[in-house]
Chains A and B, each alone.
Chain A
Amino acid sequence: MKMTYLIAAAAGLVLGGVIVTTETSAGPAESVKYRQTVMKANGAHLGAISMVVKGEVPYGAPHVVANAEALAESAKLIADAFKDKTGDAGPTAAKANIWTEWQSFTDKAKTLQAESAKLIEVAKKGDMTAIGEQVKAVGGACGGCHETFREKKS
């Protein structure tokens, strides 16, 4: 009986191991696609915020709050999404210095979290001019990282 438990436990460990392995290793193509999708989501939220700020749509500050919340959450995924270096070749604009200057890269991702979190608070007060100013700071956080770590290929 004890032997059966032992075998079951061992089998469980092996199986668990397999499952864990499956969870942690994305293929390079998926890895690149995932982080590009996360970044596109960030861009989409900032794009939506920008449409409100430009006055192209009438949704006002409440939509800036919601989009800024989504952006602040999504920005937390950046470090994880880029951790896996396997996908630094192929159709990607990610520069190799992301992984050699990892601390600086993740610091910049944290700057985006902080600036978008600040945008939530500013937007809750509803003053569109102040919102516009804080959106500039959010854009600056994006651009500051792109300047160092992104290279669009022609």
Chain B
Amino acid sequence: MVFFAVVASGAARAGDLVERGAYLAAAGGCVGCHTDVAGKGPAFAGGRALVTPMGTFYGPNITPDPVHGIGAWTEGEFLEALRHGIGRGGVNLYPAFPYPSFTGISDEDAKAIKAYLFSLPAVAKASKPHALRFPFNLRILIPVWNWVYFKAGPFKPDAARPPEWNRGAYLVEALGHCAECHTPRGVLGGLERGKAFSGTRDGPDGKAVPNITPDPETGIGKWSEADLTYFLETGIDPDGDVTGSAMGEVVKNETSRLRADDRRAVAAYLRALPPIAHRVDRKAK
């Protein structure tokens, strides 16, 4: 009897872990880059193209298939990929996989995400090799890039700020990896941290990405907190326009699935960013 109770509660705990991982994986938007949406491919089985100035990256298969996915990865290996961008067998992953953001994810959350991914059906579909220009096709150069641009380490809360701001910071900076698209990059693809979240004309797939700092003229300084949480939930901006493009996907897969308190935390953090005047001109008017 005691034995059954222990097993049952163990199963319940595993279920909770998977459920928590599902929420965190949604907050991290994993499905977006790891699913070939255009080709209507199976979820998390890879194949989505990410066109960058360095060439085209293809999100790999992260289903638990032991050959083509990450089924053979240990928990330690999974954590190492998120923390340091090092894949199984010590291979350097490209920072198109946003480990510079994911390094901030807590071990507890990372383990839950792994448990969720490993609960999914395994898909035996080979990952597509990246098609990169020279010299970016040389993985041996990634440690150099890391040395210049990458700072490893978990998210550290700021005790001087309220818990909501800290939760928002964690969601925006680590899990949500918003900076990866909304912060401009230098020639070698490193984020220009001094211009964080001020938008760029050269975002993924050659698209412009808007300034989301609270600058009233060139950013979202005129948006109220309700405007921002409503947009994150529905994709509807204060003009009644509905976002399509990459952000449409992010709203659908990620921000609309957040709990309301987490969306408020994201809004609180973004609204407290230093405003940066940087016009991106995303609309042809």
A-B pair count, CB < 8 Å, reads 83
Please report the C-alpha to C-alpha distance between residue A135 and residue B231 in the assembled complex, in whole angstroms: 12
Chain B 254-284 per-residue mask, 1 if CB under 8 angstroms from chain A, else 0: 0010000000000000000000000011111
Would B208 and A46 count as touching, CB distance under 8 A?
no
Would A47 and B240 count as touching, CB distance under 8 A?
yes
Would A135 and B234 count as touching, CB distance under 8 A?
yes
Would B252 and A143 count as touching, CB distance under 8 A?
yes
Would B242 and A139 count as touching, CB distance under 8 A?
yes
Interface of A is mostly: helix
Across-interface contacts of B230 in A (CB, < 8 A):
50, 53-54
B207 at the interface (CB under 8 A from A): yes
Please report the C-alpha to C-alpha distance between residue A151 and residue B235 in the assembled complex, in whole angstroms: 16
B248 at the interface (CB under 8 A from A): yes
Across-interface contacts of A140 in B (CB, < 8 A):
235, 252
Across-interface contacts of A44 in B (CB, < 8 A):
240
Contact for A152 among B208, B226, B235, CB less than 8 A:
B208
Contact for B249 among A42, A45, A48, A147, CB less than 8 A:
A147
Contact for A136 among B207, B233, B240, B243, CB less than 8 A:
B233
Would A153 and B241 count as touching, CB distance under 8 A?
no
Please report the C-alpha to C-alpha distance between residue A34 and residue B65 in the assembled complex, in whole angstroms: 51
B45 at the interface (CB under 8 A from A): no
Interface residues on B, range: 20 to 34
With A135-B234, A136-B233 given, is the CB distance from A146 to B227 under 8 Å? no
With A44-B240, A46-B242, A50-B236 given, is the CB distance from A91 to B226 under 8 Å? no
Smallest beta-carbon distance A33→chain B, Å: 13
Would A54 and B245 count as touching, CB distance under 8 A?
no
Chain A 114-148 per-residue mask, 1 if CB under 8 angstroms from chain B, else 0: 00000000000000000000011001101111111
Smallest beta-carbon distance A122→chain B, Å: 15
A154 at the interface (CB under 8 A from B): yes
With A91-B284, A152-B283, A154-B207 given, is the CB distance from A143 to B240 under 8 Å? no
B129 at the interface (CB under 8 A from A): no
Please report the C-alpha to C-alpha distance between residue A152 and residue B206 in the assembled complex, in whole angstroms: 11
Chain A 20-47 per-residue mask, 1 if CB under 8 angstroms from chain B, else 0: 0000000000000000000000111111
Across-interface contacts of B226 in A (CB, < 8 A):
54-56
Q: Which residues B205-253 have CB closer than 8 A to chain A?
A: 207-208, 226-227, 230, 233-236, 238-245, 248-249, 251-252
Smallest beta-carbon distance B19→chain A, Å: 22
Greatest chain A CB density within 10 A among B241, B256, B280 is at B241
Across-interface contacts of A153 in B (CB, < 8 A):
284
A150 at the interface (CB under 8 A from B): yes
A66 at the interface (CB under 8 A from B): no
Smallest beta-carbon distance A75→chain B, Å: 13
A109 at the interface (CB under 8 A from B): no
Across-interface contacts of A42 in B (CB, < 8 A):
240
Across-interface contacts of A139 in B (CB, < 8 A):
234-236, 242
Across-interface contacts of A49 in B (CB, < 8 A):
240
Smallest beta-carbon distance A18→chain B, Å: 36
Closest B residue to A91 using CB positions = B284
Would A48 and B233 count as touching, CB distance under 8 A?
no
Q: Can you show 26 pairs from A to B with CB atoms below 8 A apart?
A: A43-B239, A43-B242, A44-B240, A47-B238, A48-B240, A53-B230, A54-B226, A54-B227, A135-B236, A136-B256, A139-B235, A139-B242, A143-B242, A143-B252, A147-B248, A147-B249, A150-B244, A151-B207, A151-B245, A152-B207, A152-B208, A152-B244, A152-B282, A154-B208, A154-B282, A154-B284
Q: Which residues of A contact B (CB under 8 A)?
A: 42-50, 53-56, 91, 93, 135-136, 139-140, 142-154
Known contacts A43-B240, A45-B240, then 13 further A-B pairs from the complex at CB < 8 Å, ordered by chain A residue: A50-B234, A50-B236, A54-B226, A91-B284, A135-B234, A136-B233, A139-B234, A143-B252, A146-B242, A146-B244, A146-B248, A147-B244, A148-B244
Closest 7 CB pairs of A and B: A47-B240, A146-B244, A154-B208, A142-B242, A43-B240, A46-B240, A139-B234
